[in-house]
Copies of this chain bind each other. A is one copy, B any other.
Amino acid sequence: MPSHNWRNRFRGRGSRWTAPREAILNLLISTSKHMSAKEIYRSLLRIYPAIGLTTVYRTLDVLEQMGYLNKIPLGTGENKYELITDSSETHHHHLICTQCGRIIDYTDFEESELIKKAEQTLKTKHGFKITDYNFEFYGICKHCQERR
């Protein structure tokens, strides 16, 4: 995805395309990891020493509002973020290790189907307009189990 595409997306909603935003997006695009705001910030410091943590948060906010970013609450008050790319359109879910914080993605067709159905049901039954959902398993990952 060429960056002028992102530029246009920002411009299209009256937002400006700036150097910090480009740096943040490049990082998010290039990584397949789920990163916290601070991880993103620290990673960017190397190539963009002037960037501020505040700006990271603000850009993540904008991306979330635009619907391009997925916020994953860890339950500790910290959140991790992942870009929603075309290839991940089929929503995937998460395994969160409560020991080391590692997040493992997985996809399950059955689940995705079920969620689509559930969305409809909830809309008609509870008058609830779904904007997002979280489906996460918490537990101990293989790595941490072997460590004890």
Seen from chain A, the residues whose Cβ lies within 8 Å of a Cβ on chain B are 71, 73-75, 77, 79, 95, 97-98, 104, 106, 108, 110-111, 114, 118-119, 121-122, 125-142, 145
Q: A79–B119 Cα gap in the complex (Å)?
A: 24
With A108-B118, A134-B135 known, 19 other A-B pairs at CB within 8 A are: A71-B75, A77-B77, A95-B122, A95-B126, A106-B122, A106-B125, A108-B121, A111-B118, A126-B141, A126-B142, A128-B137, A128-B140, A128-B141, A130-B137, A131-B138, A132-B138, A133-B136, A133-B138, A134-B136
Copies of this chain, complex-wide, total: 2
Which one of B95, B132, B136, B138 lies within 8 Å of A139 (CB-CB)? B132
Q: A125–B114 Cα gap in the complex (Å)?
A: 21
Asked if A129 and B139 sit within 8 Å, CB to CB, the answer is yes
Q: Which residue of B lies closest to A119 (CB)?
A: B137
- Residues of B within 8 Å of A129, CB to CB, are 139-140, 145
CB distance from A148 to the nearest CB of B (A): 11
Which one of B104, B111, B118, B135 lies within 8 Å of A128 (CB-CB)? B104
Asked if B138 and A95 sit within 8 Å, CB to CB, the answer is no
Which one of B75, B79, B98, B114 lies within 8 Å of A111 (CB-CB)? B114
Enumerate the 3 nearest inter-chain pairs by beta-carbon distance, A residue then B residue, closest first.
A127-B142, A130-B139, A77-B77
- Residues of B within 8 Å of A119, CB to CB, are 137
- Residues of B within 8 Å of A141, CB to CB, are 126-128
